[in-house]
Amino acid sequence: MLLEINGLVKRYKNITAVDGISFSIEEGICFGLLGQNGAGKTTTVEMLEDIITPTRGTILFKGRERDRNFREKIGIQFQHTELLSFLTVDDTLRTFGRFYKNSLPMEEVRRLCMLEAIGKQMNDRISGGQKQRLLLGLALINDPDLLFLDEPSTGLDPLARQHMWKIIRGVKAQGKSIVLTTHYMEEAQTLCDDIIIMDQGRIIAQGSPETLMAQHCKDDGEPRNLETVFLNLTGRHLRA
Ligand SMILES: Nc1ncnc2c1ncn2[C@@H]1O[C@H](COP(=O)(O)OP(=O)(O)OP(=O)(O)O)[C@@H](O)[C@H]1O
């Protein structure tokens, strides 16, 4: 098992952001975290990334406590990263590559993330889709086993989103594991092998998209997709 999470809790002063969740993530899959705003996804992911410390609970990586080397084995694509405007795309990749002991050959990152044609462009001249591809490239530069993607296609047009999905599938085909948070149900359905849906800090459903659809879509003519699953599980306030 790649990650085993047991009894994870994160409490802030008077808010329990994550309320005792347990789940496992298999190696080589794309694992999705879904939930409404404030459900506890980011807090969970930041504990998995070792950015924030849990109030309680354990996280094992490949069967062991995470050590100092953990950071070398993961890649994180943050949604709101500011790139240095006076650097080109290639310069940015090169600079980030120097931070790590092991880094992928730049050519490979450029190929994988479809950055070949824009290497000489300045960071402040690239489109939103190109920026997301560059951020993904930066997350991959240390050849991580595990990649964290935070809403990777938010704000992208349909074509840019398709490119992103193709790249993510390519990353998975290389045997890397992915933890993905998204508000796009279509994205989760097309990319994720296993999913948890969170609500108020708890897990309210888990399974493959197929399993979730079988369990939570009714046979009364409503569309059979993850969006329906999500709304059936979390949309009660809207219909009340
Ligand atoms: N540093 C913090 N201090 C206090 N409360 C926090 C902190 N971080 C998160 N919270 C609270 O914890 C809860 C879960 O937040 P979290 O950001 O994990 O949700 P989320 O599912 O990622 O939401 P979104 O989809 O909007 O990103 C929310 O009520 C949030 O206000």
Cα 233 to the chain's mean position, in Å?
21
pLDDT band of residue 180 (cuts 50, 70, 90) is: very high
Q: Where are the alpha helices (DSSP H) in the chain?
A: 41-48, 70-73, 89-97, 106-112, 128-140, 158-173, 185-191, 209-216, 226-234, 236-239
Instruction: Measure the CA–CA gap between 128 and 108, rounded to whole angstroms.
Output: 22
**Which amino acid residue places its CA nearest to atom 22 of ligand 1?**
42
Q: What is the pLDDT of residues 46-66, one digit of tens each?
A: 999 999 999 999 999 999 999
Nearest CA to ligand 1 atom 8: 43
C-alpha torsion sign, points 25, 27, 33, 39:
positive
Q: What is the Cα–Cα distance from 77 to 75, expressed in whole angstroms?
A: 7
CATH number of domain containing 184: 3.40.50.300
ipTM for the complex?
Answer: 0.97
> Ligand 1: which residue has its CA nearest to atom 7?
12
Q: Which domain holds residue 203?
A: 3-239
The total number of structural domains in the chain stands at 1
How close is the Cα of 97 to the center of ligand 1, in Å? 31
User: Mean pLDDT over all residues of the chain?
Assistant: 92
Residue 176's pLDDT band, with cuts at 50, 70 and 90, is very high
Q: For residues 126 and 92, what is the distance between their CA atoms, to the nearest angstrom?
A: 13
What Rg, from alpha-carbon coordinates, does the chain have?
Answer: 18
Atom of ligand 1 nearest to the CA of 42: 22
Residue with tokens 């399993």: 211
Please, which pLDDT band fits residue 237 given cuts at 50, 70 and 90? low
Contact 185, 225 (CB under 8 A): yes
Here the tokens at position 3 are: 């990650």
Tell me the pLDDT tens digit for each residue of 62-107: 999 999 899 999 999 987 788 898 999 999 999 988 888 888 899 9
Asked whether the beta carbons of 25 and 1 are under 8 A apart, the reply is yes
Tens digit of each residue's pLDDT (9 = 90 or more) over 201-226: 999 999 999 999 999 888 888 888 99
